[in-house]
Amino acid sequence: MLSPDQCCHSVLQCHRSEQFSAEPFALANGQCAMHYTKSYIKTGPNEDACLALQVDDEHAILAVADGVGGHPLGEMASERQVSLLREMLSHADVDPENLRNPILNAIETCNQELLGEGKGSATTVTVVEISHNQIRPYHVGDSSVLITGQRGRMRLQTVSHSPVSLGIEAGLLDADQATRSEERNIVLNLVGTQEMRIEIGATLSLARFDTLLLCSDGLTDNVELDDIASIIRSGPLRSRIEALQARCQQIMHSEVGYPDDLSLILYRRSR
């Protein structure tokens, strides 16, 4: 297990492991916990990569990237994306009050690098900028950002760039149909493609007891949003992330489950 300092400032050690779970650690006015598990049906590497990077006492970055299954070197694409985020946000001249530009530069640079390699590798990415108890999400693909209040009310849910999520948004699918759709693993927008676009969310104040979740689609393809909110809304971060992982693995092993790598990051304000 990595120390809190290693977890905040090191990505590659986490990426290669079959399973990783960090003790909750201090991060930008709050507490953070991280867990990920390689899919039990895979013989290849974990294609997910995660980042928790503290810029200063009031600013931090969280990110999840999911190398796309079926694309060559998907695991290298996700690793490169989080590495570029870390590199561009760790420069001494980075202005903590303006993290938008280095975040966008890291995603766009990764897109150009993957295209330039010509190997067809691609990844999703979701990033959350934490600044003075405010957050702003950025995403490409179907890794997600969710915020739920202590009573389980969903304050934020990013819309994944997938047919299933767009169907839910248009009112054509309900949550039960979505988690059972044969198209739930199709992604319409990826880092590593000519058509890549970055969706930037509005700034949102994080209330004292809100819980912020970043996850790969291994979670949202298996567990309904109401169940996710019920599990993470209150209680110690370590027990909540373990309960969420256990619930997802239970469904993955069932007849209706969709086995996949699973990456989870939880964050709550401490003050």
* CATH code of the domain containing 18: 3.60.40.10
Mean pLDDT of 154-178: 64
User: Can you give the pLDDT at residue 228?
Assistant: 96
User: Can you give the pLDDT at residue 214?
Assistant: 97
Using pLDDT thresholds of 50, 70 and 90, give the confidence band for residue 36. Answer: confident
User: Can you give the pLDDT at residue 176?
Assistant: 56
**Domain assignment of residue 11, given as a range:** 4-269
Using pLDDT thresholds of 50, 70 and 90, give the confidence band for residue 23. Answer: confident
**pLDDT over 80 (residue 53):** yes
Mean pLDDT of 62-72: 84
Using pLDDT thresholds of 50, 70 and 90, give the confidence band for residue 12. Answer: very low
Judged by average pLDDT, the poorest of 67-76, 120-129, 187-196 is: 67-76
Using pLDDT thresholds of 50, 70 and 90, give the confidence band for residue 211. Answer: very high
Q: Cβ distance 51 to 86 under 8 Å? A: yes
Position with higher pLDDT, 169 vs 208: 208
Mean pLDDT of 28-56: 88
User: Can you give the pLDDT at residue 73?
Assistant: 84
Position with higher pLDDT, 232 vs 171: 232
Most confident of 7-11, 42-46, 240-244: 240-244
Task: State the average pLDDT for the chain.
Answer: 85
107-159 pLDDT, tens per residue?
999 999 999 998 889 999 999 999 999 999 999 999 899 999 988 889 998 88
CA distance 267 to 214: 9
User: Can you give the pLDDT at residue 115?
Assistant: 95
Query: Domains in the chain: how many in total?
Result: 1
User: Can you give the pLDDT at residue 65?
Assistant: 95
